[in-house]
């Protein structure tokens, strides 16, 4: 075909020559937006049905269109559909094939519709389905963590601040901390679903349409609560995609924190946990190694998702209303972030369920570095009425004495403690052991085993309804 005779069948009426090869390469999105084929066909079926019901197209044309679209769906899912980069995107690929199958009736499908509201719809449908899948994956990980919390409600371990031993806690309580994080991630996903529950179809290019369309019909057919209220905002909005990425980045950050702890805990120096063979790898040169590669990759993939969030925010930040081609850069970010987050959630669920907990190592570490010092200070306040700052000073002297003697706080003699303050009694030993320290933390949200078991029951009830 010569340049002088070129005319793109979809949009090229006013163009006399074909696009440059580089233009075709940068403009085409079919290599990645073919992922939207099912959503595109679903939206087109709803649009065609509405056009028929409102009398904009005839029933015969509608029936041909519906048959052709379902045929295309079968071809794509069967692997026989031929995608063409010259047709730019999934919408044009499907429409061109529709014309091959049913002839001129295919041209009526695009009545009262633009690629602008078409892609806004397809992308929304895809993100909505992915959010629902993400919520299910978050629930699965939360259930795994709740199960481990129930199993280890009374398993003591060191709690850390600044990665220094601070106070004894239970492993169950630690697991439930991540359940709380994931519940907020799930809430963000649910909130994003609620805010995107409006149908873009019918906004057309940016101004709406003069055809007597029924946007409420298509919204209902596609599972939305209502159509969008402003046609300009409709085709220029990608908030739902940014919200997905923001949720994904936050969730990934939480997963990365847990992954980091698993990496640390699985070192021989800590020895708190051991990952199963299913989530570990070996070394090509050091046969003794068990590498926590799954956890490390969860940690690393967080960077990819963070990058996608920043990329889309940057794409959108300077765009005038309404649609600009820049917005084509939204999909690869979402597709990759969604795949990464799904893999991270699935891998972390497997690691949590499979890991072996070394209770003895945790218990030993829980009592290190005078972790019950705060319990001594609290006892001085409660039992002797001492101001906390004074109690803090006395406790500091007790720690120094224990360091000098090379023993734990609860191994100091009563005479040693009385030398620090004469009113200290034998009752002080009721709080100085790790087990008694943990058991005493009964304030709401505290680490006491009785609290952990109550929270486990509460989370099991909530997750059963999810």
Report CA 1 to chain centroid distance, whole Å. 49
Per the structure block, which two tokens stand in for 285? 């040169």
Q: Which of 231, 197, 196 is nearest to 213 (CA)?
A: 231
CA torsion angle for 299, 462, 128, 231 (degrees, to 10)? -120
| Tokens 């906004």 sit on residue | 203
Contact 109, 95 (CB under 8 A): yes
Find all residues with CB under 8 Å of 282, minimum gap 6, and list them: 289, 290, 291
Measured from the Cβ of residue 162, the count of other Cβ atoms closer than 10 Å reads: 6
Q: Which of 342, 218, 222, 354 is nearest to 280 (CA)?
A: 354
Question: Concatenated DSSP letters for 31-51?
Answer: HHHGGGHHHHHHHHHHHHHHH
Find all residues with CB under 8 Å of 287, minimum gap 6, and list them: none
Contact 266, 275 (CB under 8 A): yes
Find all residues with CB under 8 Å of 168, minimum gap 6, and list them: 156, 157, 158, 159, 366, 367, 371, 372, 434, 437, 438, 447
List, by residue number, the catalytic residues.
162, 283
Paired strand residues for 158:
168
């Amino acid at each position: 075909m010569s340049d002088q005779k070129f005319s793109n069948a979809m949009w090229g009426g006013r163009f006399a020559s074909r696009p440059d090869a580089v233009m075709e390469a940068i403009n085409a999105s079919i290599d990645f937006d073919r992922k939207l084929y099912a959503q595109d066909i679903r939206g087109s079926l709803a649009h065609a049905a509405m056009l028929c019901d409102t009398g904009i197209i005839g029933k015969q044309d509608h029936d041909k269109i519906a048959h052709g679209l379902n045929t295309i769906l079968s071809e794509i899912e069967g692997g026989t559909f031929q995608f063409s980069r010259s047709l730019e995107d999934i919408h044009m690929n499907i429409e061109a094939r529709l014309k091959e199958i049913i002839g001129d009736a295919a041209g009526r499908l695009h009545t009262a519709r633009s690629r602008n509201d078409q892609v806004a719809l397809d992308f929304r449908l895809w993100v909505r389905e992915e959010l629902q899948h993400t919520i299910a994956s978050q629930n699965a990980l939360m259930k795994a963590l709740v199960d481990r919390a129930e199993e280890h409600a009374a398993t003591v371990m060191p709690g850390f601040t600044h990665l220094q031993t601070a106070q004894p806690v239970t492993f169950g309580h630690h697991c439930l901390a991540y359940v709380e994080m994931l519940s907020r991630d799930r809430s963000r996903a649910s909130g994003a679903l609620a805010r995107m529950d409006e149908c873009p179809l019918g906004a057309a290019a940016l101004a709406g349409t003069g055809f007597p369309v029924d946007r409420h019909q298509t919204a209902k057919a596609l599972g939305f609560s209502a159509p969008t209220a402003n046609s300009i905002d409709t085709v220029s909005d990608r908030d739902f995609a940014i919200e997905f990425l923001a949720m994904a980045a936050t969730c990934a950050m939480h997963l990365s924190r847990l992954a980091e702890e698993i990496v640390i805990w699985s070192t021989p120096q800590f020895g708190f946990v051991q990952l199963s063979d299913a989530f570990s790898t070996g070394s090509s040169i050091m046969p003794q190694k068990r590498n926590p590669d799954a956890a490390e990759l969860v940690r690393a993939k967080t960077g990819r998702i963070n990058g996608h969030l920043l990329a889309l925010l940057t794409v959108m930040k300077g765009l005038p209303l309404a649609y600009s081609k820049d917005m084509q850069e939204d999909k690869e970010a979402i597709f990759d972030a969604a795949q990464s987050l799904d893999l991270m959630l699935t891998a972390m669920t497997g690691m949590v369920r499979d890991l072996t907990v070394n209770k003895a190592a945790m218990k030993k570490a829980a009592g290190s570095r005078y972790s019950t010092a705060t319990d001594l200070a609290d006892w001085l306040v409660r039992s002797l009425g001492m101001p906390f700052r004074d109690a803090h000073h006395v406790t500091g002297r007790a720690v120094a004495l224990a360091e000098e003697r090379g023993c734990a706080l609860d191994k100091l003699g009563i005479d040693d403690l009385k030398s620090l303050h004469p009113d200290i009694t034998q009752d002080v030993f009721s709080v100085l052991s790790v087990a008694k320290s943990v058991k005493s933390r009964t304030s709401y949200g505290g680490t006491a085993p009785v609290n952990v078991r109550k929270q486990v029951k509460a989370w099991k009830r909530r997750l059963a309804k999810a």
